[in-house]
Amino acid sequence: MKGRRVVITACSAITPIGHTRAEIVDSLRRGVSGVKTLREDHLLSKFIHSQVFGTVDYPIAFDFRRTFRKTMGPVAYYACQVAKEVLDQAGLPPEFVTSGRLGVAFGSTHGSPTVQREIYKTFFGASQSEFRAIGAVDYLKSMVHTTAVNITKMFGITGRVISSSTACTTSSQSIGFGYEAVKYGMQDAMLCGGADEYDTTTVAVFDNLMACSTAFNDRPRCTPRPFDRQRDGLVVGEGAGAVLLEEYEQARKRGAVILGEVVGFACNNNGGDLILPNRAGISETLRLGLDDAALATDEVDFVSAHATGTKMGDVIEAQAIHAVYGGGPFVTGLKGYMGHTMGSCGAIETILTLYMMQDGFIAPTLNLEEPDERCAMIRHTMRLREQPIRVASIQNFAFGGVNTNLLIKRFV
């Protein structure tokens, strides 16, 4: 099925390297890291080996009415803020927003662990009066689909709701599923993305698996190091990203500014180990995305690699990229700038790729100084390049063996 054309008409991101487009582009061009020292939380931070975090450390003016705030934990604040900025930027008529023809695809890794922790502390250590003090809104703040439904509540969106929660592929799935919903006529527009909040429990999970960076605790900006010989693990981060996808003819007729076009999406599973990446599974996802986009491998100029900075993950991803593309496209691991923003990483990395596509440059992989010889077969971006991107692949992979590949094209 050929389906309808799907374009991106607005985007917004909250990231460790900035909030506005200008801030983010400046950080990419100047090689600014958003990785900072882990904040003391009087809970887990003193037990965690990794003492670094991709941190959003600037103020954000959440000017939401109280009726909306009362069901929102930190992750929903992030989600609703980028959603608000996207809808403001897109200029959709209010009657369309509430018509049922706009849907939401938005998720997070856990919901709000900050709120969940307070609930469970009360459950397991509470007196009867304290137990009864837990209200319905506490669950609404913490539940896994809190981002999606708080967005629908705030803006009166009545279309379909998809709330992916597949860890590192959460928001890339959200964009992909939104793309399919518009492409095949189930919705005329979809607000898509993901968010995750600052919380040390996420760091503790990966720390226990010995997957976190620990060698650069005294030099946070030097880690993570995607594809580099000295890489020693991932850095957990926070943030949010949202894009508005629209059917092309509708966007054209209303005079929308078109930022780019989504031309392909693939999602599959390795069908085996739930933690270790799989070269065959990843390679197949990349090929399926190209097939969906009806693109040849030599038409892809740029790959935004998942590239978390783990010992084996980067090697297997590099092998998969080479198996599909050879040494053709430039490859950048954007997590070098901000760490692994978990459920929001696919959306954020898509937005950063859009910015580079619009401005005609390719940012290098931050902290990649000497590529691991096992990753050296691909075309690493080692310096800032003033170079156009016509077609880009954004790839993300998650625990559970979930793989995604998004293909976006410069709109001309």
Q: Identify whether the C-beta of residue 110 lies closer than 8 Å to the C-beta of residue 163.
A: no
Residue-wise pLDDT tens digits, 146-181: 999 999 999 999 999 999 999 999 999 999 999 999
Residue-wise pLDDT tens digits, 364-403: 999 999 999 999 999 999 999 999 999 999 999 999 999 9
Of all residues in the chain, the percent with pLDDT exceeding 90 is: 89
* pLDDT (mean) for 185-204: 96
Residues in contact with 22: Cβ distance below 8 Å, sequence separation at least 6, in sequence order: none
DSSP 278-295: -HHHHHHHHHHHHHHHT-
Looking at the predicted structure, is the pLDDT value of residue 125 above 70?
no
Separation CA 69–CA 169 (nearest Å): 27
Separation CA 115–CA 257 (nearest Å): 38
Q: Which domains does the chain have, with CATH numbers?
A: 6-409 (3.40.47.10)
Q: Which of 20-29, 132-141, 299-308, 376-385 has the lowest mean pLDDT?
A: 132-141
Distances (CA, A) of 117 to 108, 141, 247, 334: 16, 12, 41, 31
* 3-state percent breakdown (helix, strand, coil) of the chain, nearest 5: 40, 20, 40
pLDDT band at 412 (very low <50, low <70, confident <90, very high): confident
Distances (CA, A) of 243 to 54, 261, 270, 276, 335: 22, 11, 28, 30, 19
